[in-house]
Structures are given as structure tokens and as C-alpha cells.
Amino acid sequence: MRGLGIDLNTATAAVMISTVLITCYNLSSSTISWAIDKYYTASVRINSEDALFRDFFIWLAEEQTEELDLSRVFNARKTANVPGDLDSGSPMGEEYYGGIGNVRGKPIYRVQYLPAVGSRYYLRYRGHKIRILMDEVKDSITMHRMPLRKIIWLRSYGRDPRVLKELLEEVLSKSNARDQGKTIVFHATMSTHGMPPRWERALARPNRSMETVILDGAQKELIIRDIEEYILPATAKWYANRGLPYRRGYLLYGPPGTGKTSLSMALAGHFNLEVYALSLSAGSLTDDTLASLFALLPSECIVLLEDVDASNVKRTADPTATPTTDMPSSLLNSFAPSHTPSSKPSVSFSGLLNAIDGAASREGRILIMTTNHRERLDPALIRPGRVDLQISFEYATRQVIESLFLNLYDVDIGDREALRMPDGFPPVERILELAGEFGRALPEGVFTPAEIQGLLLMHKKDPVAAVAAAGEWARGKRGEKGVEVEVQEAETEGVEGVENVNGVSHAKVLWDKEAEISR
């Protein structure tokens, strides 16, 4: 060292001092950043189970693309933007109403970039720098069996959390605006990988107008008035004062395709309520899952229990069995797969009743049960208190047939532009006449509204053609339904047919009144 002209002592001292300085620098910078994080930032955490998680992602993906500094690691996904679509590009994979390409044409795809788990990102929001950290954590209590759950940390600099609150308020108001005029449907997700059962947002449908659900008589008004009364704040108080559970239940029953689901959805839109839909035939549904799902319901919503008589779940009461409890025998009936009557039932009848009105069941909700076979239901399930109003759905009467026609072609309801109605589309007065002709061309009490709607949709731009096709269509259905239908060319007895529509003479339909319609 001496030969190099460097004093060994000086060199050693220099190395030591440098080491100390570097260590101090490292320590102080990590201490400073720790101190900044601890004392000079505000943070908010959003869990993936919370609806805000989804809303934040949509907001980020749709509104903040310019402001988000996606460093080097990020997620990319192909997303569809269907013009005028609902939650297009939803990062949570929400379904499209009507299906992509179904009615709206080919979607336009683009790449969407989103934060990846474990990486930090920065966003400029109203002049503030916000750090976004996507992370995965385990629930500490049940760590051994819980899967990783995602969380988002948002952090702003400065002790005031106001900017984070403003950001989340904006996220929420954008989400509310997106959902405006839509009916949100949640589906049950059963326990998977140790995750508890939960409700997951599945669809956002444009509200269905009550006018488009066509029912005979005053049934529609009856249920609307009943719900109107039920949701009044004074009604909740009234129930509480009398010690009554604040719940309301409806049973909609009738053949498939007569409008039970349509009415439920229209009611949800009319009263601005979310729909929580569940099918009792869902494979992994158990008493516990059902109870948990009912306990997770918000206080004001519609619970739609469809097909409560579902074909693969059936009461398997053994008439010879001796009840081992003092419960009514009907409560001991259980639901079990019909093809394996001896197999363990997934949801017992008492489990179902408990979920519906047990102690843990939410108050304030509206329960709508639908069935195609009311006669198969246990009276205990539909007794007053569980079911307060029953609405019968029938095969279409003349009035319903005419209303379905008017609903489709009435220019006040229909969207002439959307359907690109051809020039020369009949005026409203003529549509009214055609509705009468259509109503007379089809027999009453034979076809479901869904079937008639199917016929009308084949001629959605041409009401005259729909009337002209009605007789032939009805005859074609004869085989399917086992209904006796005679189509005659001349004036004859029976239901008056369609004649001279658009200058063409059409067949007349005579329904054999004797023929019993098999239902």
C-alpha cells in the first residue's frame, strides 16, 4: 500500500466511514419512507367481496386509462364494447344482456389494462398522487383452508383522507349512474375452495316496463298495490308494533312461458329493487348454504326462488315413517333428487322453511316463489304468512293475445327506429284492427304468451303478415300440443278467422271445442 502511495490506516478509515454512511443512508431512507407511510399518508382498503371492488375496477378501466401509470407489470384482457351495451367491458365478467352478437351485432374488441396483483401503480386524481396496490391475502382465522382473497389498497399522500373519500364517492356515483334504469340480478355462488356461499352480481337488465307483462284481469294491479303498501315506511312500523315479522311472500304459478319471471323482473324494475335469484335444484345447495344465503340478503330486495317444485328435487315423505319430532309431518318432508330417491337430500324441507322465515332470515325482503306445479307444493310452504298472495298465470285469453300483439306493434311502446320499420307500416288505427283480427285467429286458452310472442317475433316488422300466418301457425302446433284444430277455407262455424288481410284471403281456424287440451 505504501508503494502505491496510500496510507493503510487512511484507506481503512475511508472504507469504514463509507460503510457507515451507506448503512445510515439506507436506514434513514427506509425509516423515512416508513415514517411517511405511517404518519403522512391516508389509506383505504377494499375487499374483493365488496361491491365497491368491482365498481372501482370498472371506474379504473373505463374512466382512468389516461391517468393510470401502469408501470411494467400489469394485466391485459380482451374486452368487448358493444355499442349501447350495459356493463360493457366489465372487468368482473358480467354477462351481456341478450348475449353478444345476439341482437346487437358483432362486438368491437379492445385491450384493457388493469393493475396486476402484487404491483404498485400510481394514479393522478384531482391533482393528487394516489398509490394503488393490488394484493392477495388470507383470512387469518381460517388460514389453513381459505383461498387467497384479493384486496386493493388506495393510498394518498398527506394525512387528510378526503381525496380518497372523494374518489370513492365518484366511483359510487358512476356506478349508480350506470345502473340507473336497470334491474340488477344476483345469482347465488355456492361454497367453493373453502369460500363461503355468496351472492354474485350476474346481470344488469334494462328495467322491464309493467305494461309489457300482460296478465288477464286485475292480478297485476293487485300485486303492485300490495307491494306499494308493503314498502311504505309506515308498514314496517306497523309490523314491528304488532310483533309480526316484516316479510311478504308471493307465489306465481302456472305453465312455463306464461310470464312468471317476466312479472318478477318487471316488479323489481318498477320498485327499483335488486333481484336475488336462486334455484332450489342447484347441485351443491344444502340447508346451511341456503340459510347463509338468506342471511346475506340486503333488507330490501326481491328474492326469486324459481321452480320451487324443481323436477330434480321432490318431496320424498315416507308415509310409513314415524315422526321423531313434534314438528308437523309436512315439515319433515324433504327435497331429494327424484331420480335417486334414497340419496341424501341436499335441502330439506325444514331447511327451506327455516331459510324463508327462520330467526336468521332477513326482514324487509320480498320473496317470490315460482312454480309450474302448485299442486305439488307442500301446503306448509305456501301457507299464509309465507305466501301472502298467489297469482295464477294462464294460457293466453283473447284479451291477452290482443295485448301481446299491441305490445309488439304499438308504435307508442315499440321502437320504430330500432326495428327500422319499413315505410308503409300500418298506422295505429290499423294496428288496433289487426290486433282484433289476430285475437280472433288464435284460440283462447291454448297457447302460452311465450309461444304467441315467438310467432309475433317471426314477423316483428310486419303485423299484417303475423295475422296472416296465425292460422297456419296454430295448425302447425296441433301435433305438438295434441290439440284438435281445423283450418277451413270457407266461412264456417267456430271462431271467426282472418280474412282479406292485405288483399289476400286467408284460412279460417275452427277449434274443436270438444277437444280437451292437454296441459
Ligand X SMILES: Nc1ncnc2c1ncn2[C@@H]1O[C@H](COP(=O)(O)OP(=O)(O)OP(=O)(O)O)[C@@H](O)[C@H]1O
Q: Is 261 in the site for ligand X (CB under 6 A)?
A: yes
Burial class (CB in 10 A: 0-12, 13-18, 19+), 75: middle
Q: Is 439 in the site for ligand X (CB under 6 A)?
A: no
Which CB atom, from 210 or from 296, has the smaller least distance to ligand X?
Answer: 210
Q: How far apart are CA 38 and CA 482, in angstroms?
A: 77
Which CB atom, from 130 or from 213, has the smaller least distance to ligand X?
Answer: 213
Q: Is 88 in the site for ligand X (CB under 6 A)?
A: no
Which CB atom, from 257 or from 351, has the smaller least distance to ligand X?
Answer: 257
CA dihedral 64, 69, 71, 73 (to 10 degrees): -10
- Residue 251, Cα to own-chain centre: how many angstroms? 19
Q: How far is the first Cα of the chain from the last one, in angstroms, to the nearest whole number?
A: 108
Burial class (CB in 10 A: 0-12, 13-18, 19+), 22: exposed
Q: How far apart are CA 214 and CA 373, in angstroms?
A: 21
Task: Single out the residue of 89, 115, 259, 337 in contact with ligand X (rule: CB under 6 A).
Answer: 259
Q: How far apart are CA 151 and CA 118, in angstroms?
A: 10
Element (H, E) at 253: strand 248-253
Task: Single out the residue of 380, 450, 465, 487 in contact with ligand X (rule: CB under 6 A).
Answer: 450
Answer yes or no: are the C-beta atoms of 260 and 253 closer than 8 Å.
Answer: yes
Which CB atom, from 137 or from 450, has the smaller least distance to ligand X?
Answer: 450
Which CB atom, from 130 or from 310, has the smaller least distance to ligand X?
Answer: 310
Judged by CB under 6 A, the chain residues 196 through 225 that form the site for ligand X are: 212-215
Task: Single out the residue of 453, 456, 459, 464 in contact with ligand X (rule: CB under 6 A).
Answer: 453
Q: Is 256 in the site for ligand X (CB under 6 A)?
A: yes
Task: Single out the residue of 247, 260, 315, 365 in contact with ligand X (rule: CB under 6 A).
Answer: 260
Q: Is 281 in the site for ligand X (CB under 6 A)?
A: no
CB atoms within 10 A of CB 231: 16
Task: Single out the residue of 90, 175, 183, 258 in contact with ligand X (rule: CB under 6 A).
Answer: 258
Sole window of 58-66, 76-84, 252-260, 476-484 interacting with ligand X (rule: CB under 6 A) = 252-260
Q: Is 278 in the site for ligand X (CB under 6 A)?
A: no
Answer yes or no: are the C-beta atoms of 347 and 279 closer than 8 Å.
Answer: no
Strand partners, 123: 68, 130
Q: Is 269 in the site for ligand X (CB under 6 A)?
A: no
Shortest Å distance, C-beta 443 to ligand X: 17
Which CB atom, from 333 or from 453, has the smaller least distance to ligand X?
Answer: 453
Size of the site for ligand X (CB under 6 A): 16
CA dihedral 151, 180, 258, 387 (to 10 degrees): 70
Q: Cell for 345? A: 337430500
Q: Cα angle at 196 between 191 and 198, to 5 degrees?
A: 85
Which CB atom, from 348 or from 372, has the smaller least distance to ligand X?
Answer: 372
Which CB atom, from 90 or from 262, has the smaller least distance to ligand X?
Answer: 262
Q: Which residue is nearest to ligand X (CB)?
A: 259
Shortest Å distance, C-beta 259 to ligand X: 3
Which CB atom, from 222 or from 327, has the smaller least distance to ligand X?
Answer: 222
Please choose, from the candidates 497, 384, 479, the residue with its C-alpha nearest in 3D space to the C-alpha of residue 436.
Answer: 497
Judged by CB under 6 A, the chain residues 359 through 388 that form the site for ligand X are: 372
Which CB atom, from 52 or from 215, has the smaller least distance to ligand X?
Answer: 215
Shortest Å distance, C-beta 217 to ligand X: 12
Q: Is 302 in the site for ligand X (CB under 6 A)?
A: no
Shortest Å distance, C-beta 296 to ligand X: 24
| For helices 162-179 and 51-63, angle between their N-to-C axes, nearest 10 degrees | 90
Shortest Å distance, C-beta 476 to ligand X: 19
Strand partners, 405: none
Please choose, from the candidates 491, 493, 490, 489, the residue with its C-alpha nearest in 3D space to the C-alpha of residue 513.
Answer: 493
Task: Single out the residue of 257, 351, 443, 471 in contact with ligand X (rule: CB under 6 A).
Answer: 257
Shortest Å distance, C-beta 445 to ligand X: 14
Phi and psi at residue 111, in whole multiples of 5°?
Answer: -95, 135
Which CB atom, from 256 or from 445, has the smaller least distance to ligand X?
Answer: 256
CA dihedral 469, 475, 480, 485 (to 10 degrees): 150
Shortest Å distance, C-beta 53 to ligand X: 31
Q: How far apart are CA 227 and CA 213, in angstroms?
A: 17
Binding site for ligand X (CB under 6 A): 212-215, 256-262, 372, 393, 449-450, 453
